[in-house]
Amino acid sequence: MKVLVTGANGYIGQGVVRALLSKGCEVIATDFNLENVDEKAVKMPGNIFEIEDPFSYFEKPDVVLHLAWRDGFKHASLNHINDLPNHYAFLRSLIEGGLKHLTVLGSMHEVGFFEGSINENTPTNPQSNYGIAKNALRQSLELLKKDYDFVFQWVRGFYIVGNTEYGCSIFSKITEASKKGQETFPFTTGENQYDFIDYDVFCNQVASVAVQDKVNGIINCCSGRPMRLSERVENFISENGYDIKLEYGAFPDRPYDSKAIWGDDSKIKEIMNSK
């Protein structure tokens, strides 16, 4: 199976490329630069928004796994809105060119403020530019599917835990702060409960979704259970042996963050158990 991965040099892309390679896929990796991508992948650097007939340009892949996205952790960035037409035009061009299997990374932030378990039928009301743009892209692609015959999978990501400073998540920032020798880290109250999933597990789930076509539509890549933010972060600090303490209450909780939200993992369980 030949899989094109966009955004392959990003925080998530690097791990997903490795997961796909471990499954025996031929991986074509594209991004502005590809310095951190596994050498076993075929590297094709460039700006995907400037390519005419991307399906032919990228050697007619069996699957496109679209991870490319600017400012993923900066929820208020205007780039989410500004880039949206380009994402849609690129993906539409692939489908019009002959692509039969499209997997796109979404986000639980499409849902907005919600209490409880999220499934594919949960109403969406995003409360940030990031969530609005992701939700609009998904809806546009769902409309496109009415006119073209292709497998469509929308991978809804939750809270990824990884011990690398390359990224903008709370865990990346704590890793960076610890490596700089900081003794304290400004934090929220930590009372909110989220669905946390370890980086390698998440990347393997995303890759597993893309290499099958039996379970489609919106698919949560998640743990399926909530955990208090303070508990998960304290565990993360302990697991990695960091000598840093949380400064609780230094930042207010974001008003659009739910008090307790997690993913329904029934579809990803079906995928992972069918291997």
- Whether 111 and 184 map to the same domain: the answer is no
- Whether 119 and 172 map to the same domain: the answer is no
| pLDDT value of residue 252 | 87
Q: How many domains does the chain have?
A: 2
| pLDDT value of residue 163 | 67
- Whether 19 and 149 map to the same domain: the answer is yes
- Whether 10 and 139 map to the same domain: the answer is yes
Q: Considering only CA atoms, which of 222, 6, 198 is closest in space to residue 103?
A: 6
Distances (CA, A) of 7 to 36, 47, 161, 234: 11, 10, 19, 31
The C-alpha atoms of residue 266 and residue 274 are separated, in whole angstroms, by 12
Q: Which residues of the chain have a pLDDT value below 50?
A: none
| pLDDT value of residue 72 | 83
Distances (CA, A) of 68 to 6, 54, 213, 234, 265: 5, 14, 22, 31, 24
Give the residue numbers marked as catalytic.
130
| C-alpha 28 chain-centroid distance | 18
Within a domain: 259: no
Q: What burial letters (b/e) apply to 266-275, b meaning 16+ CB within 10 Å?
A: ebbeebeeee
- Whether 142 and 69 map to the same domain: the answer is yes
| pLDDT value of residue 194 | 95
Q: Give the domain extent around 34.
A: 2-160+196-224+264-273
The C-alpha atoms of residue 127 and residue 62 are separated, in whole angstroms, by 35
- Whether 117 and 173 map to the same domain: the answer is no
Within a domain: 72: yes
Within a domain: 218: yes
What are the tens digits of pLDDT across the range 24-83?
999 999 999 999 999 999 999 999 999 999 999 999 999 999 999 999 878 999 999 999
The C-alpha atoms of residue 187 and residue 156 are separated, in whole angstroms, by 26
Tokens representing 254 are 């974001």
- Whether 142 and 175 map to the same domain: the answer is no
Count H helices and E strands in the chain, helices first. 8, 15
Tokens representing 97 are 């060119």
Long-range contacts (CB closer than 8 Å, 24 or more residues apart) made by 178-184: 178/237, 178/240, 178/242, 178/243, 178/244, 182/244, 183/243, 183/244, 183/245, 184/244, 184/245, 184/246, 184/247
**Cβ–Cβ under 8 Å, residues 242 and 174:** yes
Within a domain: 242: yes
Within a domain: 184: yes
The C-alpha atoms of residue 201 and residue 223 are separated, in whole angstroms, by 9
Global model pTM greater than 0.85: yes
| C-alpha 4 chain-centroid distance | 16
| pLDDT value of residue 50 | 97
- Whether 183 and 136 map to the same domain: the answer is no
